[in-house]
């Protein structure tokens, strides 16, 4: 190699290194700008965990409600979290509820509602994403929203995939539970399909005590009704009776998630009701719960085939 060629090679390498340095320096501002375009200007926490991107916005002195996004999807809105979590949890508490299992729900908000019953003896939370759990324990605004649920000595946390844990010997030996709350990501998200499969609900059913009840978040009923009714059919395929109901958030306050489809399931048909001895609720009354059930039944679709690990049905028209 000639001296001239050698110097040319050195110059090219230097140019490449300089470009890499510039790109590295611009990555931070670019990511911040991209997040602000998606989430607004009040991004307070943004982390990439081993599972997903976790973003917290608002809260504190921002004057905006605290919101939790997982992979760009709104998971918690401080404006309307009670509307969703009260409806998800309290109908399932109408009966024995000393031992409760929460699948997902690492933000601690479903746990908050469970702990409002003083006769609950233990709550086991199975959450895959350790980053969400850290935020729920350490972020001041999220701790305030979840009522410091993870400081309650009745709560035990397992960091694991819900399907794998239920299938493991540890998961099988941990039951049975009077109440299981499935507060998992939307079934329309591909990695979550197994958590809404026939096999998954078979595992959950094995963990239920006699007379136990299962509460399920089944996705956005307005945007993806076929998905919700597939969840319903899949739960019924393992021998559980279901009671569907829906909760709608005011559009002006929450334009990203306006409709939640929920299911209450049990081995034998159980009426959808609230416990007689219940804490004061902000958004849910017996009359309103009956209306939520009527709203879901009004939109019932013909029963689709259940979703299985071999034949996932979510995402089909």
Which string of b and e fits 225-261 if b means at least 16 CB within 10 Å?
bbbbbbbbbbbbbbebebbbbbbbbeeeebeebbbbb
183: pLDDT strictly greater than 90: yes
Q: Establish whether 162 is an annotated binding residue.
A: yes
CATH number at residue 243: 3.40.50.150
Q: Helix or strand or coil: residue 206?
A: helix
Q: Establish whether 52 is an annotated binding residue.
A: yes
Residue 230 lies in a domain: yes
Q: Establish whether 317 is an annotated binding residue.
A: no
CA atoms within 13 A on the CB side of 15: 6
Name the residue with higher pLDDT: 79 or 103.
Answer: 103
Burial of 146 (0-12, 13-18, 19+ CB in 10 A): buried
Residue 198 lies in a domain: yes
Residue 18 lies in a domain: no
Name the residue with higher pLDDT: 47 or 191.
Answer: 47
User: Per the residue annotation, which of 183, 220, 254, 259 is the catalytic one?
Assistant: 183
Cα–Cα dist 287/126, whole Å: 32
Domain of 224, in residue numbers: 79-298
Please report which confidence band the pLDDT of residue 185 belongs to, taking 50, 70 and 90 as the band edges.
confident
Mean predicted confidence (pLDDT) in 135-142: 94
Residue 97 lies in a domain: yes
Task: Count how many domains the chain has.
Answer: 1
For helices 198-207 and 225-236, give the axis angle rounded to 10 degrees. Answer: 50
Phi then psi dihedrals of residue 30, to 5 deg: -65, -45
Question: pTM of the entire structure?
Answer: 0.85
188: pLDDT strictly greater than 80: no
Q: Establish whether 85 is an annotated binding residue.
A: yes
Q: pLDDT at position 38, please? A: 47
The region that residue 209 occupies, defined by phi over 0 for left and psi between -120 and 50 for alpha, beta otherwise, is beta
Q: Establish whether 119 is an annotated binding residue.
A: no
Residue 69 lies in a domain: no
Cα–Cα dist 227/130, whole Å: 28
The region that residue 239 occupies, defined by phi over 0 for left and psi between -120 and 50 for alpha, beta otherwise, is left
* Token pair in block for residue 298: 């009004």
Q: State pLDDT tens for residues 50-81.
A: 888 989 898 877 778 888 888 877 877 877 78
Q: Helix or strand or coil: residue 268?
A: coil
Task: Judge whether 183 counts as a catalytic residue.
Answer: yes
Residue 309 lies in a domain: no
Residue entry with tokens 């009077």: 178
Residue 70 lies in a domain: no
Residues 6+ apart with CB under 8 A from 103: 126, 162, 166, 180, 181, 182, 183, 184, 195, 204
3-state secondary structure 197-215: CHHHHHHHHHHEEEEEEEE
Contact 238, 206 (CB under 8 A): no
Our measurement of the distance from residue 294's CA atom to the centroid of its chain's CA atoms, rounded to an integer in Å, reads 24
Residue 72 lies in a domain: no
Give the sign of the dihedral formed by CA 16, CA 22, CA 27, CA 30: negative
Q: State pLDDT tens for residues 205-260.
A: 999 999 999 999 998 888 899 999 999 999 999 999 999 999 987 664 444 446 89
């Amino acid at each position: 190699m000639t001296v001239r060629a050698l110097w040319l090679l050195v110059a090219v390498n230097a140019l490449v290194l300089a470009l890499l340095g510039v790109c590295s320096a611009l990555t931070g501002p670019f990511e911040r700008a991209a997040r602000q375009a998606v989430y607004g200007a009040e991004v307070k926490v943004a982390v990439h965990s081993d599972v997903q991107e976790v973003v917290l916005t608002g809260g504190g002195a921002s004057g905006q409600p605290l919101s939790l996004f997982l992979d760009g999807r709104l998971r918690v809105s401080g404006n309307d979290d009670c509307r969703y979590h009260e409806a998800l949890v309290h109908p399932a508490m109408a009966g024995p509820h000393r031992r409760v299992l929460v699948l997902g729900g690492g933000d601690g908000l479903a746990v908050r509602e469970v702990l409002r019953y003083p006769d609950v003896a233990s709550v086991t939370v199975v959450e895959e994403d350790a980053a969400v759990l850290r935020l729920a324990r350490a972020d001041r605004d999220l701790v305030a929203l979840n009522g410091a649920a993870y400081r309650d000595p009745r709560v035990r946390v397992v960091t694991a995939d819900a399907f794998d844990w239920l299938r493991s010997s540890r998961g099988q030996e941990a039951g049975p539970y009077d109440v299981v709350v499935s507060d998992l990501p939307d079934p329309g998200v591909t990695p979550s399909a197994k958590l809404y499969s026939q096999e998954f609900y078979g595992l959950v059913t094995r963990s239920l005590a006699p007379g136990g009840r299962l509460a399920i978040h089944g996705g956005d009923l307005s945007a993806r009704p076929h998905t919700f009714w597939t969840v319903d059919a899949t739960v019924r395929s393992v021998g559980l009776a279901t009671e569907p109901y829906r909760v709608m958030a005011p559009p002006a306050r929450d334009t990203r998630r306006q409709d939640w489809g929920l299911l209450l399931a049990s081995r034998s048909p159980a009426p959808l009701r609230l416990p007689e001895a219940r804490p004061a609720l902000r958004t849910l009354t017996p009359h309103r719960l009956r209306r939520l059930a009527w709203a879901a039944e009004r939109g019932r679709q013909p029963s689709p085939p259940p979703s299985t690990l071999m034949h996932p049905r979510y995402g089909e028209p």
